[in-house]
Amino acid sequence: MRTGYKVIDAMTTRPITAAADDTLYAIAQLMKEKKVGSVLLKDGERLAGIVTEFDLVRKAMAEAMDVRETPVNRIMTAADEMAVVDPGMDVFDALNVMRERDVRHLPVLDAGKLAGFITVKDILRIEPELFDIIVDKYEIREAHRKPIAAFKQGECNLCGNFSNRLSTVRGLLVCPPCVRDAE
């Protein structure tokens, strides 16, 4: 599916960056000040990696790292491990990269140089119809117990009966009577 919008149409051209040897505390303060959920990390002019709020919580706080002493490069995702996109790529393709890699942020490289940064929010702001593509990636835990749930209609993957209230349980679309069997 092509949207007609390119990554360059939606990306931030001046992403928030910091040095890869800055402390976790400095990065958290930068995120707070700039109201962002991720920071691109540089080593000189070279893209060194990325750190997200998720990294700060799951890697640093959960391990009780000293935020004032620990450099962010201890928890960052290194540049060679990151997914990146090209400014000429269609936003649909960029969203698929995010979906496949289970990330919400992508650096944009043009001829190997940092050209910008694009997020799920950036894409959905210009092309909200793509929401379903990213939502399908996330399974709601215990969806059958939630008072508000998004139901699909179709054939139950377990019993084969048609239902207007299919829930996703462990990757299967199941009708209400089959929910317990799917768990």
pLDDT tens readout for residues 159-170: 989 988 888 887
Average pLDDT over residues 64-72: 96
Inter-residue contact 151 to 140 (CB < 8 Å)? no
Q: Is residue 2 part of a domain?
A: no
Query: What confidence score (pLDDT) does residue 149 get?
Result: 52
Say whether both 114 and 44 belong to one domain: yes
What distance in Å separates the CA atoms of residue 49 and residue 78, rounded to the nearest whole number?
4
3-state secondary structure 10-47: HCECCCCEEECCCEHHHHHHHHHHHCCCEEEEEECCEE
pLDDT tens for residues 78-96? 999 999 999 999 999 998 8
Domain check: are 34 and 84 in the same one? yes
pTM above 0.85, yes or no: no
> Of 119, 134, 149, which closes a domain?
134
Q: Are residues 65 and 121 in the same domain?
A: yes
% pLDDT > 70, the chain: 88
CATH code, 26: 3.10.580.10
Contact in structure between 47 and 116 (CB atoms under 8 Å): no
Q: Residue 180: which H helix or E strand, with range?
A: helix 179-182
Q: Using CA atoms, how far apart are residues 97 and 58, in angstroms rounded to an integer?
A: 23
| Residue 1 is assigned to a structural domain of this protein | no
Do both 145 and 116 map to the same domain? no
Based on the structure, what is the number of domains in the chain?
Answer: 2
User: Do 127 and 168 have their domain in common?
Assistant: no
**Maximum Cα–Cα distance for the chain, whole Å?**
60
Whether residues 90 and 173 fall in one domain: no
Range of the domain at 108: 7-134
Note whether residue 51 is domain-resident: yes
Q: Please check whether residues 59 and 18 belong to one and the same domain.
A: yes
Domain co-membership, 120 together with 154: no
Is residue 78 a part of any domain in this protein?
yes
Instruction: Name the domain boundary from 94, 114, 134.
Output: 134
